[in-house]
Amino acid sequence: MIVSKPETKLSNQRILVTGGAGFIGSNLIEYFLQNNQVVCLDNLSTGFYKNIEELVENPNFTFIEGDIRDLEVCKKAVKGCDYVFHEAALGSVPRSINDPIATNASNIDGFLNMLIVARDEKVKRFIYAASSSTYGDSKELPKVEHRIGRPLSPYAITKYVNELYAHVFTQLYGLETIGLRYFNVFGKRQSPDGAYAAVIPLWAKMLLNHERPVINGDGSYSRDFTYIENVIQANELSAINPWQTIHKRLQKYQTEMQMENTPDQIFNIAYGGNTTLIDLFTALRDNLAKYDQTLAHIEPIYGPYRNGDIPHSHASIKKASTILKYHPAINARKGFELVSGWYFENK
C-alpha cells in the first residue's frame, strides 16, 4: 500500500492576507506567492504600498485597498479564498494608550468582520496574529499559553478579545481558527519611521544616522525577539497541519500540562529565548559597525520606563513544537546580523 506523504507546503490555494502591505503581511505574501494565488487587503494606514509594489504585476497577486472595519470590503476580499491570514491591526502599546478608541475599532470590530466573512465564505482555516502582550502582568517565565495575567494596555485587551472571539466562532460555527501569539517579530521591511516604530528598526535607523538610541529604563528589560522567517514557518504550519491531527496532539498535550480552561488553538511563536535591551543595542551596534566602523563607539541614552511595557518576555514554544511541529531555524543573534545587513543596504 502506498502511503501519501503529508503536505509540507501550502500550494495551489487562494489566500487572503489582511494587513498585507505591512511588515509581517508583506513577508507572508512574498513567500506564499511562490505557490499560491494571494489577495492583499490593506488600508495603507500603517502599511506601505512600496512593500508590495514589486508584486502587482504578478498575475497571481491581487491588491485591494480597503479597511477591515468595512464589512463589504471584507466580503469582497475573502470571496473565493481558501485561507485567511489575518495580520491587519493597529499595533503598538503606546498608540493604544494614546488612542484606545481607534485601537478597539480596528482590532476588535475589524477582527469580528473578518471572522464573519470567513465563516460565511466557508474558508478552510482562519489564522490570525495574536500577541505576547496578552500575558500582561504575569511574571511567570517562560510564558505558557494557558496561564496569562491581567492586560496592561488597551492593545493587549483587544488581542485577548480576538482569542476569545475566535474560540467562540470555532465552537459555535465550526470555523477552524488558529491564533499565533507573536513575540517581538523583526526582519526586513519593518519600518523605522513614525511615532510608534518598533525598537529594532528605530535603533538601526538612529545608529546609521550616528544618533544615540534611547533605552527605556536601565536596559535590563528583556524580549524574546523572533526573526520573520520563523513566523512565516509558523503560519504555513498552521495551515497545512490537518485539523484532526492538531486536536489529537492537543488532547495529549493538555493532559500532560494539566491545562486550565483557556482557548485551545493558541500558540506562542518565538525562538524561545530572551535578550535584554542593552544586549540588543550592543548586537545591533556591533553588526552595523561591520559596515561603518564609526558606529562602534556610540553609547545609548537611558530614559524613563514606558507605560504599559512588561518587564520580561520569554516564550515556551513547547506547545507549537509539539502540535504544529514548529522548529524555528534562526535565533535572535543570527537574526540581528541578517537584519543589520538589510537596514544598511536599504538606509
Active-site residues, by number, are 155
Grid cell at residue 261: 480552561
Q: Which three cell numbers stand for residue 54?
A: 514589486
For the record, the C-alpha cell of 319 comes out as 506547545
Q: In angstroms, how far is CA 314 from the centroid of its own chain? A: 15
**Identity (one letter) of the amino acid at 9?**
K
CB 322 within 8 A of CB 272: no
**Cα angle 147-157-273, degrees, rounded to a multiple of 5:** 50
- Helix (H/G/I), strand (E/B), else coil: 227: strand
Using CB atoms within 10 Å of the CB of residue 174, give its burial: 0 to 12 exposed, 13 to 18 middle, 19+ buried: exposed
**Burial of residue 78, with CB atoms counted within 10 A of its CB: 0-12 exposed, 13-18 middle, 19 or more buried:** buried
